[in-house]
Structure 1
Amino acid sequence: MFCEVELLRDVAVLAENLDRNGLVSQRSIITRLLEDLLNEKASKDHGYFLAVTSLKSIGKAEVVDESGDVFFPVVFNCRTFLPFKGEILQGVVHRIFRHGVFLRCGPIKYAFISARKMPNYQYVAGENPVFLSNELAKIENDVVVCFMVLGVRWIEKRGDFTKEFVMLAGIEGDSLGPISLSGADEFDV
């Protein structure tokens, strides 16, 4: 789900970015804020940071004596993406295995649909494996699939995952499964 949240961040501006009068441009503060959000990527409470939509205020500077760096409290609105259990989303298949498929859904790289949660679909092995339904609908790489979120987990740090959400999904229900988009070769969530 897309949300609009108000956030507060202390933005550090390095001492070397101060002008001769010891001032910092608003542009430097905003640039640093955007860099910090890009590095942070997501939070457990708010989801993935997609865009800063408005800047509410930049507070008074506080200088750190040891380094000479300057910290500014910045209040801003940010658009985020945080999926919830029961939500209907769309994703693009990027890996197929005997036990299910992995989808990408917006900034989420790992949404898994178990073969058990794909009723009437059978795995068909081969060079390009697919799941084929009794009605000949096909789930293969690069196909857009409409699914229901069954569970969401936040992973702070584990192996290659760093600040990521992973999802379990299913296509049990009406209007769920592979969909076609007219006039588009590719789908961008």
Structure 2
Amino acid sequence: MVFLEAQLSWTVLIPPESLFAEGLKLQQAIVLRLLEEVSCRKASKELGYFVAVTSLESVGEGQLQELTGNVIFPITFRCVTFKPLKGEVLVGAIRKVLRHGIMLAAGPLEGVFLSAKAMGDGYEYLPRDEPVFLSEKLSRLESGGAVRFKVLGLKWMEEDREFQVLATMAADFLGPLISDDD
């Protein structure tokens, strides 16, 4: 996974009940509001997923909204981001086994689909109470397992503010990871 640090400029809205005369409490209210904003926005098409705010660089002068009493502060901050890239190799946890492939999660990526056709090594779907894909070499893909995969393609979904990823295991050194318990 590739993590990057980006500098961002946003505005945060502080309601009147969070405004205090003491500067430290005001800065605390701004930081808390920023963290809420980051978790609500979740990701952007250009930068990927917002993982963690690392520093608050500057807080500009607040602008009062006369009708509501809210104050809008322009801020600049640094944030660690994660954006999947085509061709990148990642490790994902198998969340669900379906007839036509498996759904994986890798870090903040929840929508990773590995098609049965992109598995390679002759995997066959076995419908059971807990369905599984089994290969000719007896390696298994089942819920709770982990797999190393390569990103074939990705698509930004603006409505959900997340990426959908199409994955493959059809390359060297890709496939299920064996746990120490096996």
Could you tell me the TM-score, scaled by structure 2's length? 0.92
Q: Which AA in structure 2 matches 1:42? A: A
Q: Name the residue aligned to 1:151.
A: 153
CA RMSD of aligned residues (A): 1.9
Paired residue secondary structure (1:27): helix
Residues 1:94 and 1:149: Cα distance change in structure 2 (over 3 Å)? same
- What secondary structure sits across from 1:25 in the alignment? helix
Give the match's secondary structure for 1:136. coil
SS at match of 1:148: strand
Instruction: Return closer, same or farther for 1:90/1:22 CA change in 2, 3 Å cut-off.
Output: closer
TM-score by length of 1: 0.89
Residues 69, 23 of structure 1: CA spacing in aligned structure 2 closer, same or farther, 3 A cutoff?
farther
Name the amino acid aligned to 1:138.
Answer: R
Spell out the pairing of 1:34-73 with structure 2 (5 A cutoff). 34-73=35-74
* Structure 2: gaps (5+ residues): none
Aligned to 2:32: 31
Q: Secondary structure at the match of 2:75?
A: strand
Q: Distance in 2 between matches of 1:82 and 1:151?
A: 12
Structure 2 counterparts to residues 74-153 of structure 1, below 5 A = 74-119=75-120, 120-153=122-155
CA distance in 2 between counterparts of 1:99 and 1:42 reads 28
Residue-by-residue CA offset, 1:134-156 (whole Å, 9 max, x unaligned): 11111111110000001111112
Listed as ranges, the gaps of 5+ residues in structure 1 are: none
Tell me the residue number matched to 1:177: 175
Deviates more, 1:78-87 or 1:18-27: 18-27
